[in-house]
Amino acid sequence: MHPPLAPGTLLLRIAIAALLLVLVMFLCSLTGPQAISLKAALSGPASPAIPNPDYEILVRVRIPRVILAALVGAALAAAGVTFQALLRNSLADPYILGISSGAGLGAILAVISGFGWTLWGRSPIAVFAFLGALGTVWLVWGIGRITGRHHVTGLLLAGVVVNAFLSAVILFLVSIARSQHFYATMFWLMGNMTEEDFHVLWIGGGCITAGIVALFFLSPQLNAISIGHRDARSIGIAVERVEIAAFAVSALITAVAVSLSGLIGFVGLVVPHAVRLVFGPDHRQLLPLSSLVGAMFLVVADTAARVVVAPAQLPVGVVTAMIGGPFFLILLIRYSRKVYSPA
Amino acid sequence: MTSAIQIEHVTFGYGRDKPILRDISFAVRTGTFLAVAGPNGAGKSTLLNILAGTLTPQSGTVLLDAANLRSYGVHEIARKVAVVRQEFVPAFGFSVLETVLMARTPYYGRFGFETRADREIAAQALELTDTARFASRPLANLSAGERQRVFIARALAQDTPTLLLDEPTSFLDFRHQVRIYDLLKSIQRDKGTTIVAVTHDINLAAQYCDEALLLYGFAESPDAAGSGRSAKPPHYCIGEVSDVLAPEAVERAFKVRVFSGVVGRERFLLPLGAMAKDTDRSGPKPAGPAAERERT
Amino acid sequence: MTKWWLLLAALALWLVSGYALVRPQEADAEPGPGDRQGPDRIVSLAPNLTEILFALGLGEKVVGVTQDSDYPPAAADKPKVGSFWQPSVEAVIATRPDLIVTLAFEQQKDLARRLGRMGYDRLVVDIESVGDLFRAIDAVGQAAGAEAEARELSQSIREEVRRVRTATADARRVKVLWVVQREPLRVAGRDTFINEMIELAGGENAIGATLYKYPPIGAEEVIATGPEVIIEPAMAQDATESRGQALSYWRRFTNVPAVRDERIRVIDGDLVSRLGPRLPAGIEAIAKCLRPELFGE
């Protein structure tokens, strides 16, 4: 069905996907609620006397957003692939172990406490969300270890419990919040892309890319672990170490993604699944391709979110669900037949 | 005469006070084909996992190539010991070839890809287990027996001096049972591989294995309810196949009457229950060893 | 093993070079406007700010408003830059503004910050109380080069308010329950500007001090506080419908004086929810509900 992977094939597929991504990013940066013309934008930055809104919008608003969407999409997809491998379950997504509720709690605490200070010009919501996400992961991991032997089950259960508890706390806080805080939190929780500073993109981009490369290095071991951890150990893989490393890296890049853009669902669940259906479960291919496809997907979804009901803006999470759902269904129907056909 | 594996005074139980294996000691000489037999629940799979290093005994030591198993890293153990466990369908749709190739993961090149040598070893393993024709099929699309052979192929691809198998032929038809045992025997002969196989098939074990280990099951052993003093551990015995898998020992271990016949160099044993057609041919309840030998 | 070290080294190099390339800007130095003679193109991101700008005579210079900025009528014709809750950064940029005025709500403050980093002049004002309103008018006037008009406007608003206050000064304070939402029941508490308006209009909030600004309350408290008048703000066009719904909702509270005396009033929401130049009109509308005899209903 899928012949085993050759390095040449993988490189070619990655190159094609990367080119597609660049193309998509370019086209989407030209699309938005305001009509801008590339020619006008290219005539250069503004002088104080003659402002050039086309340039401003393209360079200061659109391009940073598109880059951000690509980074977040890649991070969520890569984390999704890894969690699905570690939990041996193709219905896992990066938020399954409490990251979403932890980040949400951090965010709402930041909003309610009304901190006036900023970190490098950014509101503290992002920082608190990041810390909340990581703190929750650490908590879930700890609980999972305590429950002992059947590690994966322990993790899943711990994640469900922590998620439920923190969600209740969030609802409580939201119910007593002032309306503006409530709205700000809801908006953040539903996922949003805004233009970020160059240095934020640089740092976030560096961390996310390094994380994805690290996960790629772990891909052969993830292949074995995704079959069974006892089998993987017999083959000679240091299962505990690989699991901790993969888990930590994916949790980190998810936390970075969530702190940059709020909670965007569906990408981490559907993209790995779809890519696996088409290209097979070999993680050396699944990981890089899912990252690139996830990036493309989110860039397109974000553009749609900005444009469809302009000048208002849909939450990106809504668009990812609306695009992702039917698309995934079609894919499932077409490719499932291939899987179960007689030899 | 070196031992590939040596077990000394190993005790293991899943609960605190319920040992399954108590004070077991034996050695497996290099290049031997050992069969492990016994009733369900006697601890055969547990023993295999202890030999593989997956379970840690509560007391006692396991020596692999004369060094304590615990001193080895996971990678080193995998170079010396390959394990074949019960087949199952994994969560993701890897193909047969991909699954077998995975055994070579520790030997991959710098960027995580297999070398030509790896591919050749894998291809050979597929040939030996007659699974080459499903090479590109996902495991879910195979029968249990075909999957079992794939798991054996994966262990072969690890290319280790010791092979541990847990009921490797349980789902196989006659032809493939024999093929697998022939394969194991030829590996033992050509490469000097040490093989330990847990099996329910006593007769095939008798034909192919050099030695046998019969586990009675601790709770069932004759001395379990006794005064508690015993010079040697009572609940297993190990030795030449013909000695260990003798009719009276088998009857006592499995609590069933057997009909015993001679093939050539070895016996065969057939369990006969009360409703079986030839039930009168099986011996009466074991009275004593002498009476048994006369009957055959 | 080496590839891991390489990766770590590459990441470290990336981060360090990033820091060297671009020192993170110390944003929010609030340089603010005012370094030029006066902005010619002003964008307002809140309806009350729009009203203030027009009241200051700067209507011509307004080049962008939010969708709900509908007063004065001229404002409704201005280009829209999104809604109050979701202003659109692209639309704002497209208007080529010299000055952007926003309130202090998180999403607007955030937008102002982002625009500030792009080099636009912006002014953020916090209008949560009547006192804030006057300060905001001064700030806007200063930023837009209309200080004199600002002083005049503040003055006239103060006088109008004083007029209403004197009219109701001797009278007894009327107990009011201000209902912002019916299901679940939510009222305006003491810590709101609505409370200030009520008191300026000669009323007293039926609710005592609460933890929340807009506390949800239960039926018991409605009965316990015994308001004489119940006021609900509503959209002007829905007034009659809202009135009907309000009456049918409150009918069950037969023990409440406001219901008994049929003093349930629906008021124009825009007038009382925007803290802006129409404050006196809003206070007068409330006073009419509380003391109809003094204001000729």
Nearest by CB to residue B103, choosing from A90, A235, A238, is A235
CATH number, domain containing residue C256: 3.40.50.1980
> What is the interface size between A and C, counted as CB pairs within 8 Å?
106
In chain B, the percentage of residues whose pLDDT exceeds 70 is: 88
Domain count, chain A: 1
- C123 shares its domain with C220: no
Residue C16 lies in a domain: no
Tokens describing residue B218: 């601790």
Judged against a pLDDT cut of 90, whether residue C108 lies above it is answered with no
* pLDDT band (50, 70, 90) for residue B232: very low
Cβ of B74 within 8 Å of Cβ of A233? The answer is yes
State which CATH number among 3.40.190.290, 2.60.120.1440, 2.30.110.10, 3.40.50.300 fits the domain covering B3-91+158-245: 3.40.50.300
Residue A147 lies in a domain: yes
Q: Which residue has the higher pLDDT, A188 or C6?
A: C6
Q: Which residue has the higher pLDDT, C35 or B169?
A: B169
Chain B contact present for A223, CB below 8 A: yes
Q: How far is the first Cα of chain C from the last one, in angstroms, to the nearest whole number? A: 86
Chain C contact present for A120, CB below 8 A: yes
Residue C30 lies in a domain: no
d(CA A150, CA C91): 55
What burial class does residue B132 get, using C-beta atoms within 10 Å of its C-beta: 0-12 exposed, 13-18 middle, 19+ buried?
Answer: middle
Residues of A in contact with B103 (CB under 8 A): 235
Ranges in chain A, pLDDT < 70: 1-2, 44-50, 114-123, 148-151, 178-180, 311, 337-343
**C-alpha closest to that of A239 among B93, B47, B85, B54:** B54
Residues 6+ apart with CB under 8 A from A323: A297, A300, A301, A304
> Do B7 and B62 meet the contact criterion of CB atoms below 8 Å apart?
yes
d(CA B243, CA B259): 17
**Burial letters C3-34, b for 16+ CB under 10 A, else e:** eeeebeeebeebeeebeeeeebeeebeeeebe
Cβ of B92 within 8 Å of Cβ of A228? The answer is no
Chain C interface disruption, residue of A175, A202, A284, most C CBs within 10 A: A202
Residue A173 has a pLDDT of: 85
- C193 shares its domain with C281: yes
Residue B164: φ, ψ to 5°: -115, 130
Query: Is the previous residue joined to C184 through a cis bond, with omega within 30 degrees of 0?
Result: yes
pLDDT per residue as tens digits for the range B138-178: 999 999 889 999 999 999 999 999 999 999 988 888 988 99
Residue B182 has a pLDDT of: 92
- C113 shares its domain with C216: no
- Residue range C10-35: mean pLDDT, rounded: 67
- C136 shares its domain with C192: no
Residue A112 has a pLDDT of: 77
Q: How far is the first Cα of chain B from the last one, in angstroms, to the nearest whole number? A: 35
pLDDT per residue as tens digits for the range C203-231: 889 888 887 788 888 888 888 888 988 88
Residue C242 has a pLDDT of: 83
d(CA B40, CA C258): 83
**C-alpha closest to that of C175 among C258, C281, C266, C296:** C258
Cβ of A184 within 8 Å of Cβ of C114? The answer is no
Residue B184 has a pLDDT of: 92
Nearest by CB to residue A120, choosing from C15, C24, C114, is C24
Query: Nearest-CA distance from A335 to chain B in Å?
Result: 13
> What is the interface size between A and B, counted as CB pairs within 8 Å?
105
Nearest by CB to residue A187, choosing from C3, C11, C107, is C107
* pLDDT band (50, 70, 90) for residue B248: confident
- Map residue C39 onto helix, strand or coil: coil
Domain count, chain C: 2
Residues 6+ apart with CB under 8 A from A59: A41, A45
Residue C73: φ, ψ to 5°: -50, -30
Cα angle at A210 between A209 and A216, to 5 degrees? 90
Chain C contact present for A176, CB below 8 A: yes
**Burial letters C131-144, b for 16+ CB under 10 A, else e:** ebbbebbbbbbebb
Residue A69 lies in a domain: yes
Residues of A in contact with C3 (CB under 8 A): 217
- C109 shares its domain with C76: yes
Judged against a pLDDT cut of 70, whether residue C192 lies above it is answered with yes
Residue A174 lies in a domain: yes
Tokens describing residue C23: 């020192």
Residue of A nearest to C215 (CA): A176
Chain C contact present for A273, CB below 8 A: no
Cβ of A236 within 8 Å of Cβ of B106? The answer is yes
- Map residue C103 onto helix, strand or coil: strand
The one-character DSSP state at A194 is: -
Residue B282 has a pLDDT of: 67
Domain boundaries, chain B: 3-91+158-245, 250-296
pLDDT per residue as tens digits for the range B46-73: 999 999 988 889 889 999 988 999 899 9
* pLDDT band (50, 70, 90) for residue B10: confident
Judged against a pLDDT cut of 70, whether residue C285 lies above it is answered with yes
Cβ of C80 within 8 Å of Cβ of A33? The answer is no
This prediction's pTM: 0.85
Residues of C in contact with A312 (CB under 8 A): 82-83, 86, 88
The one-character DSSP state at A191 is: -
Domain boundary among C104, C128, C145: C145
Residue C4 lies in a domain: no
CATH number, domain containing residue A57: 1.10.3470.10
Residue A309 has a pLDDT of: 82
d(CA A162, CA A101): 8
Cβ of A34 within 8 Å of Cβ of C93? The answer is yes
Chain A contact present for C10, CB below 8 A: yes
Cβ of A1 within 8 Å of Cβ of B138? The answer is yes
Range of C121's domain?
42-145
- C75 shares its domain with C136: yes
- C224 shares its domain with C127: no
Name the strand (E) or helix (H) holding B251.
helix B247-254
Nearest by CB to residue A234, choosing from B52, B97, B137, is B52
**Region of residue B284 (phi > 0: left; psi between -120 and 50: alpha; otherwise: beta):** beta
Q: What is the ipTM of this complex?
A: 0.82
Residue C209 has a pLDDT of: 86
**Burial letters C60-93, b for 16+ CB under 10 A, else e:** ebbbbbbbbbbbeeebeebebbbbbbbbbbbbbb
